[in-house]
Amino acid sequence: MATYVVGDLHGQLPLFENLLKKINFHPKDDRLIATGDVIDRGRLVGELLERLYHGAREGWFLPVAGNHEEAYLRFREGDPVPFYRDPEFGGEQTLESMSRLGHTRSRLLDSWLRSWPLSWSDSRHIVVHGGLPSVPGTRFGDVGLCDTRLSSAGIFHECVDLRPPHILPSWDGRLVVSGHTIVRKAKFYHEALVMVDTGAYRTGRLSAYCLESGQFHSVEGFPC
């Protein structure tokens, strides 16, 4: 059994399929956790979400929410979220994908997206989109604060919005794996923190980290 943590997908279905092939992913034995920002920017958001939704039902796919999922859900709930449709943020692609899927499918996917947690953890690892909120007065983060703390803009949870140098090790020594900030190569940011987002939607490089083996994997191709 292997557990892989894949960086921000942003609708990159072909790269995702290539990655599964490269790591020889077995849906019956292995698990795959996405660091969030699965939607927006890419053209195949709807197709990717359908694929992952079935993966979640089959038990091999586990998502955590990113700032893009939070912005999308806010927008769907009627908040203006003025930047959501900006080309740079890429919300239009998700809205178009959802309208192609039709009312019933898109409502189902919306309610699934709403159920995504802010973190995934086991006894040795924590996966979060941005970083762990800091324990006051320390240079450590606490996953227990994810649900309670909003970022300064007030739109997002702080844990989906934090970037270096504000991403901190967990106070309890568990390894933190995060996305959100694009790095050229997936790597250890420091000894207790791994960054896996290699910006697939613009670089064509999608990366993952295996929790059991400690190995990095990546594929390269064309973003869509």
Comparing CB distances to Mn ion, the nearer of 95 and 101 is 95
Contact 31, 1 (CB under 8 A): yes
| 70 near Mn ion (CB under 5 A) | no
Grouping H, G, I as helix, E, B as strand and the rest as coil, residue 168 is coil
Residue type, 62: L
| 67 near Mn ion (CB under 5 A) | yes
Dihedral over alpha carbons 123, 25, 1, 53 (to 10 degrees): 60
Subset of 6-45 contacting Mn ion (CB under 5 A): 37
Count of residues in the chain: 224
Comparing CB distances to Mn ion, the nearer of 31 and 157 is 157
User: What tokens appear for 9 in the block?
Assistant: 């997908």
| Separation of alpha carbons 147 and 94, rounded Å | 25
Range in contact with Mn ion (rule: CB under 5 A) among 15-23, 140-148, 174-182, 200-208: 174-182
| 66 near Mn ion (CB under 5 A) | yes
| 205 near Mn ion (CB under 5 A) | no
CB of 8 to Mn ion, least distance (A): 6
Paired with 164 in beta bridges are: none
CB of 140 to Mn ion, least distance (A): 22
CB of 34 to Mn ion, least distance (A): 12
